[in-house]
Amino acid sequence: MDTPEGLVVPCVKNVQSLSIFEIAAEMNRLQTLGLAGKLGVEDLSGVTFSLSNVGTIGGTYTKPVIMPPNVAIGALGKIQVLPRFDSEGAVTKAHVLNVSWSADHRVIDGATMARFSNLWKQYLEDPLTFVLDLK
């Protein structure tokens, strides 16, 4: 999170047990505290996976670096409108979001990250499947 005091990485705890609404509420709480410079040690500890959105500052691609104790990190670029060919060979505009991942291969193998990336792509391209898979 980009704050007036610099970069901080708050942690949403036990995310696997939370609903999408609970995750959003916790992220809003952490953002409010972070921007006010009031995040506590508990808010900043326990991170295993980070997601960085360089698109919010105009970045289109980055290679994220894992910082301990993380085991994986993802980076999102800004959405770009680019020309692409459709299935019939005609040029059409497409909304493109570059996403890159890094993982500690002592914990997560590349095949697992690739499957995760494919599922993530599916959810972005067809949000209804995401909603149907919510707990």
Which sequence positions are flagged as catalytic?
105, 109
Q: Token match 């067809």: residue?
A: 126
**Token output for 8:** 């901080």
Give SS3 for 90: coil
Could you tell me the two tokens for 88?
A: 């019939």
Dist CA 102 CA 80 (whole Å): 22
> How far apart (Å, rounded) are the C-alpha atoms in residues 46 and 18?
16
The structure tokens 């809003």 sit at 28
